[in-house]
Amino acid sequence: MTRFQPAAPTRAICAGAICLSIVGGMLVGHAWPLWTGRDVIMTATVDGTRVWAPGEYVRLSTAAAVLTTGQPAADDAIERTPVRAVDPWVTPNPAERPNSINRQLRGKIIYVQLAPGAAGEHVPVSVSLRPVKDALNLRGVVTWALTSGELRVQYGIDAFYLQEGKAAELERVFREKRRVQVQVAIASSGRARIRNLLVEGVPVQ
Amino acid sequence: MDVLDATARRRISSRQLSWLERESRAWQESSLIDPAARAAILDRYTAISAERRAITAMTLLAAGMGAVGLLLLIGYNWDQIPRLAKLAIVIGAVAAAFAASAFAYARQRPGVAETLAFFGTLLFGNAIWLVAQVLHIEGRYPDAFLWWGVGALACAWLVRSEWIGALGAAIVLVWVGAEGDFTAHPSPVFVLLWPLAIGVAYSLRSSLMIRVCAPAAALWIFFGGTDNSHTAFWLGGIALVGCGLYGLGRWHEAESRLRRAWESSGLLVLLLAFIPLMFSEIHRGLAAGGVTPLLTAGAVVSAVAAGIAVLRPSRTPADRAVLGTAVAVAVWAVASWSGLFRQTSGFTLSATVLFSVLTLVMAVALIRTALLTDRAMDLGAGVAFALAFLAVRWASIIQNLFWSGLLLLAAAGSLLAVVRLWRGRAHAVAGRAS
């Protein structure tokens, strides 16, 4: 029996189709929250401008970027948002020193529950390893954790790309203490994407 | 540049091919073989000329620069171009490259077609990063390498391109590093991706892919075990992976290029693991117990891979040295892990001496193998082990001019002896040939 051997042009087309399928899948996966998600507004801070091959962007930070499940230190310059740990959550190891690195949490997926604050903007209130029923869950990955309860989390809403040269303008606006907010679309899975950046309520793009 | 029939013919250097042509003509004239046999022998080999290699390198360089240029142009992120148009440009470029590749294949231009497919694979990587830009994503960046690697390996297998395969293998290697940077937990996806890359390498008979991809196994153990860097199973596990990679090479024919690729990868890993293990500070810092399932599994699998290589015939001194090393490392790792000898004052010193001796044994065995089998790769590896031993031991006595001087004199004498032996081997081979 002769084995079916597709011709070289067919194989090249198949290779292209595989690449396009992967890009298409990533595109749909990433755009899904924008199509189906619920929009919320969060206060943002501009942490600086970065440039690399795919473009120039401003690094954004929200109240959900640095959390703490423990007692916030009063004499520290870093702003941590205190949140309640909801089961299931990691059990602290009493043998570990309080400010040592918690390697068990690094790279873990967590869900942060958001609730509207006094000004109508959403703020984190609790954190869990699983989505909490009937709550607005924001899915993130822990990039850094301490045994004291401090967590640094990435949600995929930490960068806003702009035309080259315009990121510096946005940084200046932020330094002038003008109100910068991020409009985030959150899917039912907790995945979030930036819909737009608002300066004094006006969309940037 | 790889062509579609490359898997059927062995690639050798132009010099080897002209030697074979010359010698086979002499055999034919001496009636040792008939013309048909000579033609059949020559048909088994193909050579790539230096000119063609240079053209290939320049073409691939141009493809790489073109892809980066496009990445930067889109990266400028001109506000005037709508988001959908940017996506269309990025995705359209990938489609156009592969469509042009298919067209070139149809026109019987395999070199051009492969270059276009290579370009398409680079553009595919661009597309992954630029989708992130268009949608304002700053997410889990190792995943971008993962999907790029998967796509590149699939393309390599489909268009039968060693160059795209090498690109895919390099992306897998980068992905392992990116995962290690991003998370403390080893990614289980590696268990699927690594065999996939190795499978593509075998499908293309590509030693280049093996050379790039094989060390990724050690890198995975390295990053996966950083939490347990205080146990002997971490560096010991990496050394055993080196032995295992070398052992895998022994399941190939003696002159197989794939065998060389496995062996050189294994020796590289072993050398990199031995350098820290020759320092007594490393052994002093090791603690008993605390081994993760990954390190245990990695060490056991690698030890088994090295061990079953014993079953293979035609062992060289280097083969025996690697197997002896695997046994010694396994015994040391278990002894250190158990903590039984930790209280013994001489344990740290014994372990330091053990790895220094193992490094020297590897150096001598590889040089002996090179002399016996006429393989320059083994000579280079043997000298590399010897230089590593020299550098580490010299570092420990660098304050002492007398011993430093003696050590360097001994090293210089040994190196000259190796040169003399190697030259003598060359004369012996020439004598046999004449």
The answer to whether B147 faces chain A, any CB pair under 8 Å, is: yes
How many angstroms separate the Cα of B349 from the Cα of each of A129, B281, B283? 46, 10, 8
* Cβ-based burial of A132 (10 A; exposed 0-12, middle 13-18, buried ≥19): middle
The whole-number pLDDT of residue B274 equals 93
- Give the strands of the sheet with A122-128, arranged side by side: A81-82, A66-68, A150-154, A136-145, A109-116, A122-128, A84-85
For residues B151-155, average pLDDT:
96
Output the average pLDDT for chain A.
85
Q: What is the pLDDT of residues A56-89, one digit of tens each?
A: 888 888 999 999 887 766 556 667 888 998 888 8
Q: Which stretches of B107-206 are DSSP H helices?
A: 110-134, 142-159, 162-182, 190-203
d(CA B97, CA B119): 7
pTM: 0.79
With a CB-CB cutoff of 8 Å, which residues 279-338 of chain B face chain A? Answer: none
Q: What is the pLDDT of residues B390-401, one digit of tens each?
A: 999 888 887 788
Interhelix angle for B50-75 vs B110-134, to 10°? 20
From chain A, pick out residues whose CB is under 8 angstroms from the CB of B135: 27, 30-31, 34, 193
Whether ipTM exceeds 0.90: no
User: Can you read off the two tokens belonging to residue B251?
Assistant: 């399941």
Smallest CA-to-CA distance from B12 within B56, B58, B43 is with B43
Q: Which stretches of B278-346 are DSSP H helices?
A: 280-284, 293-308, 317-338
Closest Cα in chain B to A24:
B91
Q: Hey, are the CB atoms on A23 and B129 less than 8 Å from each other?
A: no
d(CA A130, CA A149): 17
Q: What is the pLDDT of residues B227-240, one digit of tens each?
A: 777 788 888 889 98
Q: Hey, are the CB atoms on A53 and B72 less than 8 Å from each other?
A: yes
d(CA B128, CA B67): 13
The answer, yes or no, to whether residue B226 has pLDDT greater than 80, is no
Read off the pLDDT band of B4 (50, 70, 90).
Answer: very low
Smallest CA-to-CA distance from A111 within A93, A138, A92 is with A138
Closest CB to A15 among B90, B131, B154? B154
The whole-number pLDDT of residue B124 equals 94
